Chains A and B, each alone.
Chain A
Amino acid sequence: MSVSINKVEENKTERLKEIVNHLVQPMGKSGIGFKIWIAFLSILAIAALAMYIKQIQEGLSVTAMRDIASWGIYISNFVFLVAVSLVGSLITAILKLNKIKWATSLTRISEIIAVAAVIFALIIIVVDMGRPERLLNIFMYGRLQSPIVWDIIVVNTYLVISLLLLYLPLIPDLALLRKYKTDVPKWQSELYRILSLGWQGTDEQYKILKKSINILMVLIIPVAFAIHTVTSWLFASTLRPGWDSTIFGPYFIAGAFMVGAAAVVVAMYIFRVKYNYQCYLTDYHFNMMGKLLVLTSLIYLYFNVNEFMVPFYKMKTAESSHIKGLFSGEFSMMFWMVQILGMIIPIILLLFKKFRKPKPMMIIAVIVVIGAFFKRYLIVTPTLLHPFLPVQNYPESYHHYVPSFEEWTITLGSIAGVLLIISVFVKIFPIIPIWEVAHEEGIDNDILNK
């Protein structure tokens, strides 16, 4: 009897070693492909930095933003990054609280995406400021009546919660890393030591850890809703055609879940192929994520119909020139590409099981993400180009907005920055939560602690 128990235990220990090796082994190695990737991202980021220095020297006139379009691609990028970051709450909180098993191996992927995106959302806001050295004035003189101040509070709060939600589930893994990954530079093992808090895996520690994670999971949902609702209020609380809408909050959140889910699919595919994680990111995971993506897209489609159908039917004077600009005017090409390629076709395709396989889904998800970026652009700029008060004596160029080279470089650089954070993170930390996978396979704490 005791022999068989020992045997089972031995098997489990073996299995744990296997899991750890599989999940930890790709971390250290960095092939030539990875180095090129990092170099590429760094070049983009440095170019963006150079352009930003230029912008500081010459002022915002290096952008294409003028009196009429005073928000441009920076702010659309901010909305995009905030939207992407919402996926952290969707997968780590909403799915996990619903006890959906397959979400376990996706939690850390989605959480690091959330953290990286939110960090750059904050940075891009400062980039959009003409006098960044006056940043502190917002905290010193900001009025609590202003949605911009709400946004600052809520985005920072979300960043803190996301960081905690990334860090806490990492603690037991860090203890495992200290044990199993010894071939690392000194600073890295030191990092593991400090961050792991000397984790021993006692029952009480697990109890505190799980309780804390539970608190955060519940807390992050309202905060996530708040961050994107308040972001939408930056627009909706003004009397502008195209922004003056009561459903802007849910409209933004639905869109955010859609682009976030798509971003996770892309990341899943890359880790699956590059790290051979076929057994953690299975076809089943992709199938389920595909269904989730269809669901979120359908909700978003529903809000889109609302958002355009009602003003289209009424065609109030100011709205009508906005709607015409989108449907058949200056922005129609981009608008219909975004709506059809970025939303309707993905929904139709993903209804078929054939397309919910990893590769086709990855391609669809990339298109959805790109579409989502331009969708944010379409929300921000066309409205600004249709001011309520008639404008006179402006140069012709003020009536159009085409982002300048500097703006594009900085925007691309910020996205490169997001990818850089994620790429570096996965080199230092396991992207699949080891202990949670182990628990799911029935490997208990005693074995983990050994």
Chain B
Amino acid sequence: MKLILFLIFIIVIVLKSQAQWTIPADASQKINNVEITPKSLTVGKSIFNKMCQSCHGKKADGMGLMKSASLIADSLQLQKDGVIFYKIATGKDQMPPFQSILKEEEIWAVINYLRILVNPDSVPPAKNVKLILSGTGKGNQRKVTAMVMEKGDSAYIMQPDVDIHFYIKREFGLMRFGNDYNYTGSSGKVSAMFPTGIIGDKEGVVTIYAKIEDSFMFTETTDSIVQKWGKPIVVNNEAFDERSLWASRDKAPVWLLLVANGIILFVWLFIILVIVNIFRIKKLSKLFIK
């Protein structure tokens, strides 16, 4: 009896994992309380690019690193917001559950973003703005400030509520710093503390970027400054100047040279001895014939 129950248990598990999504009846009743605004869309877009793109692809067509589901096809778009919410929150098989990773309103923001992806004309076109980055302070209290303005008829108008991403240029790419969201205030400015312990080039120079990215209101914009804020990098070539296993060929360790060449010499000495013997045999034949 126990065995049968166990088998049924296994079968249920196997079937469950193969089956379609099981959506509770009340899921579709759940109401999307996040309005479609440029701001929420920007949140949705950056979450999508960070967490979903790898599997679902840049265009959300399901062609990421792995085969997943298309999120722009009718098969998804015709589903109710509440159902999609449930799917993102709970996941299935390869699709990870996001309920403990994303806040509710963030999931709604992603859903709004997916809706706009197939209907891009429903939001106004992005505007060009001017982004200016500056740095102040010293020691541990260095900070960068980004200022966003739009060219008005007679003067520049400060832009509040723009999310700025701050980066430091590293060897192979950009390292993000600052908060997850850095919205400009009413003066059009937002600041971020420069992290301590950053290593720069030989003089300690670092390049800092501010970017407006993934935004629905503004086109992509970048500004950068160069500051002597980092620690100078210390290049340690000494390790390669000594004899070691990783050094160049003329710096092989002495013991290795001795052992390896010793073995080679020893073996080849005997091989040469044998070859000499071959000639000795040949010579003996000639003697014999004489």
Q: Which residues of B contact A204 (CB under 8 A)?
A: 284
Q: Which of A379-396 contact B (CB under 8 A)?
A: 392-394, 396
Chain A proximity mask over B196-212: 1 for CB below 8 Å, otherwise 0: 00000000000000000
Cβ contact within 8 Å between A157 and B274: no
Instruction: Please tell me which one of the listed residues A141, A202, A215, A396 contacts residue B288 in the complex, with CB atoms under 8 A apart.
Output: A202
- Residues 152-167 of A contacting B (Cβ, < 8 Å): 153, 157, 160-161, 164
Check A145 against B247 for contact (C-beta < 8 Å).
yes
> Taking CB as reference atom, which chain A residue is nearest B66?
A396
* Pairwise interchain contact B285-A197, C-beta atoms closer than 8 A: yes
Is B273 an interface residue, CB under 8 A from the partner? yes
Q: Does B281 contact A (CB under 8 A)?
A: yes
Question: In the complex, what residue of chain B is closest to A391 when comparing beta carbons?
Answer: B65
B 247-271 contacts with A by CB, 8 A: 247-249, 252-253, 256-257, 260, 264, 267-268, 270-271
- A347-B205 Cα distance, complex, nearest whole Å: 68
The verdict on A215 contacting B285 (CB below 8 Å), with A141-B249, A143-B252, A394-B65 known, is: no
Which interface class (under 10, 10 to 19, 20 to 34, 35 or more) fits A? 20 to 34
Q: Is A408 an interface residue (CB 8 A)?
A: no
Q: Is B128 an interface residue (CB 8 A)?
A: no
Given contacts A144-B257, A144-B260, A393-B65, contact A205 B249 (CB under 8 A): no
**Chain A contacts with B in 123-154, Cβ cutoff 8 A:** 141-145, 150, 153
C-alpha spacing A141/B260, complex, angstroms: 17
Interface contact A215-B274, CB-CB below 8 Å: yes
Is B246's beta carbon under 8 Å from chain A? yes
Asked whether A197 lies within 8 Å of B247 as measured between CB atoms, the reply is no
> Do B65 and A198 touch (CB < 8 A)?
no
Q: Do residues B289 and A161 form an inter-chain contact, with CB atoms below 8 A?
A: no
What is the distance, in angstroms, from B241's C-beta to the closest C-beta of chain A? 15
The complex places the Cα of A439 from the Cα of B261 at a distance, in Å, of 40
CA distance A37 to B248 in the complex (A): 50
Instruction: Offer 22 A-B interface pairs, CB within 8 angstroms, sorted by A.
Output: A144-B249, A144-B260, A145-B246, A145-B252, A157-B267, A160-B271, A164-B271, A164-B274, A171-B281, A198-B285, A198-B286, A200-B289, A204-B284, A205-B281, A208-B277, A209-B277, A209-B281, A211-B277, A215-B270, A215-B273, A223-B267, A396-B67
List chain B positions with a Cβ less than 8 A from chain A: 54, 65-67, 245-249, 252-253, 256-257, 260, 264, 267-268, 270-271, 273-275, 277-278, 280-282, 284-286, 288-289
Binding site for B on A (CB under 8 A): 141-145, 150, 153, 157, 160-161, 164, 168, 171, 197-200, 202, 204-205, 208-209, 211-212, 215-216, 219, 222-223, 392-394, 396
